[in-house]
Structure 1
Amino acid sequence: MPTPRERILTALHVRLSSLPATALRGDVLPERVPAEGLLILRDGEPGEPEVTLSPLRYHYQHQAEIEAVVQGAGRDAVFDTLTASVGTALATDRTLGGLCDWVEAEAPRPVDLPVQGAASLKAAVIAVVLHYSMADPLG
């Protein structure tokens, strides 16, 4: 049975998969970026938990990352639409179906990346903070 942390990350990936862009988890950047854009979810770092003792609970502010990538003509508008759709998808249910206490995305910092012999990429990492508690740090 998956740990609460894995269930939360899976639920986040499922939420991203509902968007028109291609959503991957932990994969490398493919050679071709789909016209609608590409999202790659990285598991990130759970960080140091705050601990309460009665009952024993570990409270995390886990920072996952979503790499958002677009390519081709009109990439600025496509990028804007893609990042806004990520925000909307997260805002529809900030608890991911009750799996975590709160989900919150930070603003992206876009960069343009030249590609030899092809259209430039526009990309950003969107940090997503997952607030949740567990009875055991290992699962």
Structure 2
Amino acid sequence: MAESKREAALKALFSKISEIDGSMVKRNEPEADDIPAGGLVSLADGSLKAEPILSPLRYEIAHTAEIMVLVQGDDAVARDAQFDAILVALASVIDADPTLGGVVDFAACNEPEIVDEPIEGAATIKAATVPVTMDYIAPTALG
């Protein structure tokens, strides 16, 4: 069976974020109980907005995937530095190849939603949800 443009875009994005050194990278897996020492970067498929283009019929897709970045540690300064390094690396790998190897027309990170989550009896987690918008043309509204 042929792969959808949506799935190809998600695989290309996953491949790019897998280039981030030191972090565990996952896709569509539940939030981990244990965050690895190098941090966790998790890709969720997100949502699509499709606008039809006529003659021939095809769809301009704005696909917003969500990337969750999580780090955990007792030392706030070290935790913040590690968190920032992962966000910088994430932006760098996408900015270096905004077509994700030619799979999409353009991809870009959007504003992260950042939160510190104190955990009773464990080190604090610093987390962000980073929306990444990928624009491409697809043969169906499903991507």
Q: State the TM bucket, normalised to the shorter chain.
A: over 0.9
In the other structure, the counterpart of 1:33 is 35
**Can you give the 5+ residue segments of structure 1 that lack an aligned partner in the other structure?**
none
Choose 118-127 or 15-24, whichever is displaced more. 15-24
The alignment's TM-score, normalised by the length of structure 1, stands at 0.94
In the other structure, the counterpart of 2:138 is 134
In the other structure, the counterpart of 1:104 is 108
The one-letter code sitting in structure 2 at the alignment partner of 1:63 is T
The alignment's TM-score, normalised by the length of structure 2, stands at 0.92
Deviations 1:36-82 (A, max 9, x none): 211110100012x1111122110011111000000013110000000
Tell me the distance in 1 between the aligned counterparts of 2:45 and 2:116.
24
The Cα shift of 1:114 comes to 1.1
In the other structure, the counterpart of 2:15 is 14
Question: What is the correspondence of 1:62-101 to structure 2 with a 5 Å cutoff?
Answer: 62-72=63-73, 73=75, 74-101=78-105
The one-letter code sitting in structure 1 at the alignment partner of 2:18 is S
The Cα shift of 1:129 comes to 0.4
Q: Identity percentage over the alignment? A: 38
What's the secondary structure of 1:110's corresponding residue? strand
- The root-mean-square deviation of aligned C-alpha atoms, in Å, is 1.1
Tell me the distance in 2 between the aligned counterparts of 1:36 and 1:19.
10
The Cα shift of 1:137 comes to 2.4
Tell me the distance in 1 between the aligned counterparts of 2:88 and 2:111.
10
Number of aligned residue pairs: give it: 138
